Copies of this chain bind each other. A is one copy, B any other.
Amino acid sequence: MQTIKDVAARAGVSDRTVSRVVNGEPNISKKTRVRVEEAIAELNYIPNLAARMVRTNRSGVLGVITDVVSTTPNSVDLIRGIQDRISTSGQSILIANTSGTLEEENKVWRTFREHRIDGVLYATMYHRGIDFDPEAHAIPTVLVNCFAEGRDDVPAVLPDDYGGEEGATAYLIAAGHSRIGYITLNPAIIAARLRRQAFEDVMRRHDLAVHATWVTSGYEGPEGGESICAYEVVREILSAPLGERPTALLSGDDEIAMQSIFAAMSLGLKVPDDIAIVGFDDFQMISTRTVPRLTTVALPYYEIGLRAADKLLAMLAGEADDEVVERLPCPLVRRESA
């Protein structure tokens, strides 16, 4: 592999001059610059970042920590958003996965420090609170899709689950529905509580009754080990005669919405005519594949990734950010199920 000295020799200048050209420093005569650039091209010289870093003590690498990536497919959009922003800034990203265990996570932080990572994006694969102490790691960090429990001084970018469900509920009401049910996620999940709360608040604001029997969980079992039961639950609700069942159902996620369609069909009910169904998440593999396709609230993962990377870059540049914790809107995507 060619070094800066090889280039210097070839161009007939000192290595310091080559360094200047490579780093785009000013005060180089055009003639010299061109000669050096030619030499670089001829030798196919590629700078050794590690050597540079030993001197500058900045790595130009950002770290991304993820927990159990595998469970939610759209988490990939988070990464993509991060990558798209980082790569245009000329940095690279080192990705590490903790599998959710503390031991793994500590190993990851250590690796990051060994690499003298400039900053960290800590992403969880579903919206949740974490136990996080920024002092413990001494690396600028932005939380992505999660927040530091019990403190509001840790930068974070989150989806606005509450606002998303507000919009969905208002949409159904505007469409003339007043008898609306809600199939929740596992209530242990924070998104479940936010979404459900938004539904109830909007209903109340419109003086609409929330029927206790129409609000129930679509999952059973403990957090992490839950199994879906939306199909059975929805069949139960929809088995009531016309005047005694809801005309619309909000779902904690798209999977519940999908099972709701199955349940409705199994009872001979038409979606959306007999029962309107709204999902949440907009996992397109589901939402665009059901028949009818899902009207659902989109989780803006890509934008969250972008914004989080922006925030980290701003921190590293020493720019103060006005909002420490940002919530990004979850827009309603209208399709045919409601």
Contact = CB atoms under 8 A, between A and B. Distances in A.
Interface of A: 1, 46-51, 53-54, 57, 59, 61, 69-70, 73-77, 79-80, 83-84, 87, 92-97, 99, 104, 107, 110-111, 113-116, 228, 231, 255, 258-259, 261-263, 265-266, 283, 285-286, 288-291, 302
A262 B294 CA distance: 14
Contacts of A75: 76
Contact of A87 (B49, B53, B57, B96): B96
Given A258-B289, A259-B291, A54 B50 contact: yes
Contacts of A258: 289-290
Most chain B CB within 10 A, of A61, A76, A290, is at A76
B59 A50 contact: yes
A189 B194 CA distance: 42
Contacts of A73: 73-74, 76, 283, 285
B87 A79 contact: no
Contacts of A263: 291
A150 B264 CA distance: 51
Nearest to A230: B289
The 7 closest A-B pairs by CB, nearest first: A73-B73, A50-B50, A50-B53, A262-B291, A95-B95, A46-B113, A49-B114
A78 to B, nearest CB: 10
15 contacts: A48-B114, A50-B50, A50-B51, A50-B53, A50-B115, A70-B302, A73-B73, A94-B94, A95-B95, A228-B288, A228-B289, A231-B291, A262-B290, A265-B266, A286-B286
Contacts of A48: 54, 114, 116
A114 B285 contact: no
B80 A255 contact: no
A51 B76 CA distance: 33
A76 B74 CA distance: 10
A107, A110, A111 pick with most chain B CB within 10 angstroms: A111
A69 B70 CA distance: 13
Given A73-B74, A228-B289, 17 more contacts: A1-B116, A46-B113, A48-B114, A48-B116, A49-B116, A50-B54, A51-B54, A75-B76, A83-B95, A87-B96, A93-B96, A231-B291, A259-B291, A261-B262, A262-B290, A266-B291, A285-B285
B77 A70 contact: yes
A107 B87 contact: yes
A305 B286 CA distance: 25
A92 B70 contact: no
Nearest to A268: B268
A285 B46 CA distance: 44
A321 B51 CA distance: 33
Residue with the highest number of chain B CB atoms closer than 10 Å, among A49, A50, A110, A286 = A50
